């Protein structure tokens, strides 16, 4: 069971989060990614395109987990396709990661089409 507020707190306070996805043969792989929270909802994006193996795994399964030490936050993942949400997510990435030279790739071009809303599973 996931405590929604604990999951959102982890995603808000942590710069690089740990996302656990499963391979087709059931192995779990943990990948470090960025995440933001906008109006109480969490979002992630695929900044590296086809070289990111975690993205097709989460899209295929529709589920994943964030891992924070011993804590595990199971989530569902849904594609975001509306411009207003993408603009808000852009702003959140800019605010949280504006110090990083990698920010630009997270808020432009095709990366925006990979935005996923991740919702803690109760």
Is the pLDDT at 42 greater than 60? The verdict is: yes
Is the pLDDT at 66 greater than 50? The verdict is: yes
40 Ramachandran zone, left/alpha/beta (phi>0; psi -120 to 50): left
Q: Could you give the CA distance from residue 14 to residue 50 in angstroms, rounded to a whole number? A: 25
The pTM of the whole model exceeds 0.75: yes
Position 2 scores a pLDDT of 57
């Amino acid at each position: 069971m996931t405590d929604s507020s604990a999951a959102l707190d982890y995603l808000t306070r942590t710069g690089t989060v740990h996302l656990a996805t499963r391979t087709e043969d059931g192995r779990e792989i943990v990948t470090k990614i960025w995440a933001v929270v906008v109006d109480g909802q969490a979002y992630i994006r695929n900044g590296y395109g086809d070289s990111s193996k975690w993205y097709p795994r989460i899209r295929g399964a529709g589920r994943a987990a964030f891992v924070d030490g011993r804590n595990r936050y199971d989530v569902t993942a849904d594609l975001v396709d509306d411009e207003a949400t993408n603009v808000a997510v852009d702003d959140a990435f800019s605010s949280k990661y504006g110090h990083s030279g990698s920010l630009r790739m997270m808020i432009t071009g095709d990366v925006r089409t990979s935005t996923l809303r991740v919702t803690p599973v109760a």
